[in-house]
Amino acid sequence: MAELHLQAGDDHVERLAHENDPVRAVVELIWNAIDAEAPEVTVTLVHDDILGAITKTTVADTGHGIARDELDATFGRIGGSWKRFATKTKNGKRGLHGERGEGRLRAFALGNRVTWVSHSVDTTGALQRVEVGGSTAHRHVFNYDSKLASDSPTGTVVTAWNDSQKSLGILEAESTLDVLRSHFAPVLLNDEHLSLTYNGVPIDPADAIASSDDSPLPFTDEDGNAHAASLRIIEWKSGKHRAIYYGQDAEHFVHEESAKDIETQFRYSAYVTWDGLDHEALSILGLGDMAGGPVGALWSAARDGIRSHFAGRRRERRKEQLEKWKKEKVYPYEGKAKSETEKAERAVFDVVASTLASQISNKSKDSARVTLTLLQSALRQDPEKLGTLFHEVAALTSTDRDTLARLLGETTLPAIIKAANVVTSRNKFLAGLERLLFPPEGTDTIGERDHLHPMLERELWIFGEAYHLMSSERGLTEMLRNHLRLEGLPTKGVQPVKRWDEKGGRVDLHLAVKMQEFDISRHLVVELKAPEITLGRKELDQVEDYANTVLKNAAFATDKATWDFILVGTDYDELVENRFIEGGRSQGQVLAPPPKSGRPTVRVFVRRWRDILDENRGRLRFMTSNLEHDPSLEDGLNHIRQQYADLLPTTMADRGESDDQASESA
């Protein structure tokens, strides 16, 4: 058999294969079949008769197959796939999903040996049989053979042999069916000629849909330009899947991200369609609202649209439940409320009872009646707590009372309390942090390593909502290990990472998040300096050394990662300010090397704490102004004393007269 050598190293292919994610491998292989215009796609799992483990996985389709003259483009290089420059499949039957030419490499997540046996019709009308094989022993080498065939339908069968006995149990989990239904619902619902079968189970999303809603999603970017997108929300009858998908058309959604943080009560998939989601837009969509421009505005609008949809669904669900109780005569109130106090009591009761509805029997009316009556009694007999609520409600204007009643019908009381607490706590922390960073004369200051650093480990939202702490006060070698873990690669035997001068280095905070689109990893490295230090050449050189290490060290080599290094202090000198690059001055950007193939994107910023505090306050301003919450510096300091007493200097942990006097004199 002849050989094809993939234009990438074996380690690079291993990273692209993501061999720890077999479900995603199945998804990508199915998409390859759909892009091949297959009307039928069948996934089969074969088990060992003795051990019961999955020994072989096949993905068979009845598409147009892989032609001999397509082998080099299909198996000989990464990127530059013909799909990137096309919008339709080969014969124009469907829109295209893939475009990077990496889906085939995912097959190595299903086994250590993979073969593709494909039948296709060439340009002369002759039927060809092509067989391609590869293994994890040499991931960048594919053996192939081609010959004329007869009496065989076109199509491709991908077979992965699990000789190494890797764990593939997730492929048989019910959650995998949820993923497949959610992922392929748009194309399956829109293409009546396409069928998908997974291990003997037809994937028919129509049978699993509880409800479906399509709505326009208008949004305006930061420059005031109006855009039109659409939002489709499918609620599922069962499962735990919650995800958002983004794409240019109503069938192909390239970018996926979890939606568990948006809505937890419903099982759903949200599909956002916007014709502006080209390759460049999709590459930054994972940054969320930090992406800026139309992409960031779309990301925020999608979340707002989902929240608005489910606020309405909760209203419907509560109203239906309350009407059901009233119809069954188990609702403990009769007639209309006779006073404002009773009206408020009913509003609270309705919220609490409907929230606990899943815990109240639907089978026994007597049981439900007893439970609801006890709940009513408990609310009535706690005057110390309910009295305050009734007093506040009675003091409201009629407009505010109507607003309260509507709000209590739209969300849960715990959700209102949680949201308000998050905003007020963050606002107080910002005020307290400002007091610590810019202390009045005559008061104690805080250190970077002992005080400021450990506090910020617990308040990472200051640098971005999506990030997770990977390491704190660890060396460059540990930073590399974290990067490899995020990529799903082995960390054993990692060589020590050195700077250009052969010295090591310790980074303060290494944050990271794994984006779903194209498996991009986004890293944020924060270097903190004590409040009394003015940032200058020494501090800037330190951070740039770290950035250049990531950029030049082969161990970090991948074009699927971005690294932002941020040097943070209370102020910087003129030398640092003169280093700001054109177009990045407002963000304090000092380094932005042009992207190189196979290398990460690296940027360096210098930020003042004053600017970071103002930006975070700006994001909270709308909520804090409506909550009428404007904590003083002293309120903020007291909040930090309560939350971080163990991290403050002894003289600051306890409130003292000298501290009060110093604050007043300032």
Distances (CA, A) of 629 to 12, 306, 435, 637, 647: 52, 28, 17, 15, 26
pLDDT of the residue at 636: 78
Q: Strand (E) positions, 384-485?
A: 468-475
**Highest mean pLDDT (candidates 502-506, 607-611, 628-632):** 607-611
Would the pLDDT of 553 be above 50?
A: yes
Would the pLDDT of 75 be above 90?
A: no
502 contacts: CB under 8 Å, gap ≥ 6: none
Q: Which residue has the higher pLDDT, 451 or 116?
A: 116
Rounded Cα distance between 522 and 514, Å, is 6
- High-pLDDT (> 90) share of the chain, %: 28
Position 255 confidence tier, pLDDT thresholds 50, 70, 90: confident
Position 447 confidence tier, pLDDT thresholds 50, 70, 90: low
Q: Are 525 and 562 in contact (CB under 8 A)?
A: no
Q: What is the mean pLDDT of the chain?
A: 80
What would the pLDDT profile of 187-220 be if each residue is shown by its tens digit? 899 888 899 999 999 999 998 999 999 999 999 9
Tell me, what DSSP letter sits at residue 140? Answer: E
Would the pLDDT of 236 be above 80?
A: yes
Q: Which residue has the higher pLDDT, 106 or 536?
A: 536
Rounded Cα distance between 229 and 276, Å, is 9
What would the pLDDT profile of 175-186 be if each residue is shown by its tens digit? 899 999 998 999
pLDDT of the residue at 46: 93
State the residue for tokens 């198996």.
75
* Strand partners for 41: 61, 196
Of 42, 56, 30, 380, the C-alpha closest to 202 is: 42
pLDDT of the residue at 490: 77
Rounded Cα distance between 293 and 296, Å, is 6
Scanning 107-218, the segments in alpha helix (DSSP H) are 174-190, 205-208
Rounded Cα distance between 254 and 248, Å, is 9
What would the pLDDT profile of 211-226 be if each residue is shown by its tens digit? 999 999 999 998 899 9
Position 444 confidence tier, pLDDT thresholds 50, 70, 90: low
- Count of other CB atoms within 10 angstroms of residue 228: 12
Rounded Cα distance between 75 and 158, Å, is 14
Rounded Cα distance between 660 and 666, Å, is 10
Q: Which residue has the higher pLDDT, 324 or 7?
A: 324
Q: Are 418 and 388 in contact (CB under 8 A)?
A: no
Mean pLDDT of 641-647: 75
Of 209, 350, 172, 292, the C-alpha closest to 586 is: 292
Distances (CA, A) of 53 to 56, 112, 161, 172, 646: 9, 15, 12, 10, 51
pLDDT of the residue at 82: 41
* Strand partners for 43: 59, 198
Backbone angles phi, psi at 395, to 5 degrees: -80, -10
pLDDT of the residue at 127: 93
Q: Which residue has the higher pLDDT, 82 or 494?
A: 494
- High-pLDDT (> 70) share of the chain, %: 78
What would the pLDDT profile of 404-442 be if each residue is shown by its tens digit? 555 555 665 556 667 777 888 888 888 888 888 888 765
Q: Is 199 left (phi over 0), alpha (psi -120 to 50) or beta?
A: left
pLDDT of the residue at 665: 37
Backbone angles phi, psi at 527, to 5 degrees: -110, 115
What is the widest separation between alpha-carbon atoms in the chain? 95
Position 102 confidence tier, pLDDT thresholds 50, 70, 90: low
Which range (70-74, 244-248, 295-299, 477-481) has the least confidence? 70-74
Q: Are 177 and 30 in contact (CB under 8 A)?
A: no
pLDDT of the residue at 481: 81
Mean pLDDT of 597-601: 89
The H or E element spanning position 230 is strand 226-236
